[in-house]
Amino acid sequence: MADQAPQPAPSGKHPAETTAHMIYAFYVMGLFVPILALAGVAFAHLKGQDDMPEGLRTHFPWLIRTFWWPLMLAAISMLLVFTVIISPVGIVGLVAAGVWYIYRIARGWLLLKDRQPIPNPTALF
């Protein structure tokens, strides 16, 4: 009995769909309270391994990369900000990381709302 895949809720939603919506919401709230984005990526890593339909499964690598890539770009940009010579490049990098983060959240969440898979979940855009 414990080996059975989760059944869709009465509303027709798979439980992982609700989890993905929650993670996208955590990412948005993470813009104001960063610990929530960290909680979101932890959920994405944990739940991305669960059994779910393939279209829904594509959202989890997208969510994981949505957290880590902008974080890496922001960290590199912060290093550049603290060097006197190339600080404008660092500021531009920080802005780009923020815009990219918001874009990936919006694109992924809209596709999830329409119950569409991410076309290429490992792509940067």
Q: Phi/psi class of residue 115: alpha, beta or left (left: φ > 0; alpha: ψ in -120 to 50)?
A: left
Instruction: Report d(CA 23, CA 18) in Å as an integer.
Output: 9
Residue range(s) defining the domain that contains residue 63: 15-113
For the segment 3-47, what is each residue's pLDDT rounded down to a tens digit?
554 444 445 678 889 999 999 999 999 999 999 999 999 999 998
Whole-number pLDDT of residue 103: 96
Distances (CA, A) of 56 to 4, 71, 79, 82, 96: 18, 24, 36, 41, 28
Gap between the Cα atoms of 36 and 27, Å rounded: 7
On whether the CB atoms of residues 48 and 61 are closer than 8 A, the answer is yes
Q: Is residue 6 part of a domain?
A: no
pTM greater than the 0.85 cutoff: no
Q: Is residue 4 part of a domain?
A: no
The answer as to whether 10 is a domain residue is: no
Q: What is the pLDDT of residues 67-111, one digit of tens each?
A: 999 999 999 998 888 876 667 888 898 999 999 999 999 999 999
Instruction: Give helix 59-81 / helix 15-30 axis angle, nearest 10°.
Output: 10
Evaluate whether residue 123 is within a structural domain.
no
How far, rounded to the nearest angstrom, does the alpha carbon of residue 16 sit from its chain's CA centroid?
A: 14
Per the structure, the count of domains in the chain is 1
